[in-house]
Amino acid sequence: MSEAATQKKNALADYLRQSVLALDILPGTYLDEALLCQRFALSRPPLREVLLELVGEGYLEMQHHKGVRVTGMHHQSLRAFFQVAPMLYGAVSRLAAENATNSQIRLLKEAQAQFCAALAKGRDRDRSLSNIRFHQIIGDMAHNPYLLPSFRRLLIDHARIGMTFSRQRNNETHKSLSRAVLQHDAMIEAIEAQDVQSAARLAKEHWTLSRARIELYTLPSGSNFLLETSPTPI
């Protein structure tokens, strides 16, 4: 495959990942493959390769005789999300403190700087994407092939839920985001110091910070959270 074709595939994959995380394409939306081929100047075979890759990562799901859609979100899956989130965050952060390389720590600090810049400018989309990048790097630091796929899948839904409730601006939101910045800084310090106990504890505290607010918009009684869209292709 030519370098140009590879670049087009990478551009499509990045576009779809960011669009899913930022809720530019909502859960349950079917993809218009012909439109994507035209937009990224790709034929069907390389397009399908990208879609299958993102299915494997958890961004998309195949629907028999219907096509490919953005992975849905429903109350059953969110229940599982709440059950495993603290365990995964704690385990991944503990391993990150054991295994992080200097280059990964530099990347983590860069992601934190981007998160702070987006927060200062009030850009919810950029903030959410830089936050997910921060945690993806911690996942990579863990160097665990069994945990990483589950952790990456968890981060997809955490990002989408976060994008939903971050739009509800009030004083508590501002306080939570300010505390998140401080917790990120503390997590970096613990990982850099190879303090596995503190890294695991801080990760769980960081999860707890957002849990109550997330629940407000994901419980069945809360109508502000959109779990599924109608099957309109994009």
* Residue 25, domain member (yes or no): yes
* Residue 166, domain member (yes or no): yes
Q: Does residue 66 or residue 219 have the better pLDDT?
A: 66
**Chain position carrying tokens 């997809």:** 156
Task: Quote the CA–CA distance of 88 and 94 in Å, as a whole number.
Answer: 10
**What pLDDT score was predicted for residue 168?**
56
* Residue 101, domain member (yes or no): yes
Q: How confident is the model at residue 24 (pLDDT cuts 50, 70, 90)?
A: very high
What is the domain extent for residue 108?
A: 75-218
Mean pLDDT of 58-72: 92
Q: Is the pTM of this model over 0.75?
A: yes
CB neighbour burial string for 52-78, b if at least 16 within 10 angstroms, e if fewer: eebeebbbbeeeeeeebbbbebeeeeb
Q: Looking at the structure, do residues 64 and 148 belong to the same domain, yes or no?
A: no
Of the listed ranges 59-73, 79-93, 106-120, 168-182, the one predicted with least confidence = 168-182
* Residue 160, domain member (yes or no): yes
Residue 222 has pLDDT above 90, yes or no: no
**Chain position carrying tokens 């990150």:** 96
Residues with Cβ within 8 Å of 69's Cβ and at least 6 positions away in sequence, in order, are 28, 29, 30, 31, 60, 61, 63, 231
CA torsion angle 165 169 175 181 (round to 10)? 60
Q: How confident is the model at residue 7 (pLDDT cuts 50, 70, 90)?
A: very high
